[in-house]
């Protein structure tokens, strides 16, 4: 069995100068990306990848992206997403749709190439782990 973890590091709020000083630590944990940073760098990538059919989504791209970062960072299941992001199944369906066409991987690679994010991936196989006692 292999476990994979990913660390997605976005420049700190001090580096971007975009976080208002009144944001609480809880807001920064749930929404690690500022709306301004998202609109300038990530939203054009998402909108360029999707062809919308049917009614418009009820959950914003910003909330979906922050929810995906939450799942990656916390390692929780989709059902355990905080309700502030919206319905977990809608977020999972958007993630799955974007994953099928390579959207999320493309966003991570573009941000890393621009120097705006650092992606550290670690794979571990539990059969090879030695535990010292």
Residue with tokens 């300038």: 40
How many Å from the N-terminal Cα to the C-terminal Cα in the chain?
Answer: 23
Tokens of 27: 């807001």
Domain membership flag for residue 133:
no
CA dist., res. 46 & res. 69, Å (int):
15
Domain membership flag for residue 119:
yes
DSSP assignment of 86-133 = --HHHHHHHHHHHHHTTHHHHHHHHHHHTTS-EEEEEEEEGGG-----
Tokens of 90: 């809608």
CA dist., res. 36 & res. 18, Å (int):
7
Domain membership flag for residue 13:
yes
| pTM assigned to the model | 0.71
Residue 15 has a pLDDT of: 42
Walking along the chain (133 residues) 10 residues at a time, the average pLDDT comes out as 48 42 66 89 87 83 92 90 93 93 89 81 65 67
DSSP assignment of 66-84 = HHHHHHHHH---GGGS-GG
Domain count of the chain?
1
Domain membership flag for residue 12:
yes
- Check: CB of residue 2 under 8 Å from CB of residue 124: yes
């Amino acid at each position: 069995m292999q476990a994979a973890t990913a660390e997605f590091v976005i420049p700190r709020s001090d580096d971007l100068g975009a976080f208002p000083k009144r944001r609480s630590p809880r807001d920064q944990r749930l929404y690690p990306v500022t709306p301004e940073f998202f609109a300038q760098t990530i939203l054009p990538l998402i909108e360029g990848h999707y062809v919308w059919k049917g009614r418009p989504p009820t959950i914003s791209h910003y909330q979906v992206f922050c929810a995906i970062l939450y799942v990656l960072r916390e390692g929780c299941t989709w059902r355990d997403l905080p309700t502030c992001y919206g319905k977990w199944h809608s977020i999972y369906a958007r993630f799955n749709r974007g994953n099928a066409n390579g959207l999320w991987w493309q966003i991570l690679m573009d941000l890393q190439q621009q120097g705006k994010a650092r992606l550290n991936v670690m794979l571990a196989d539990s059969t090879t782990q030695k535990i010292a006692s």
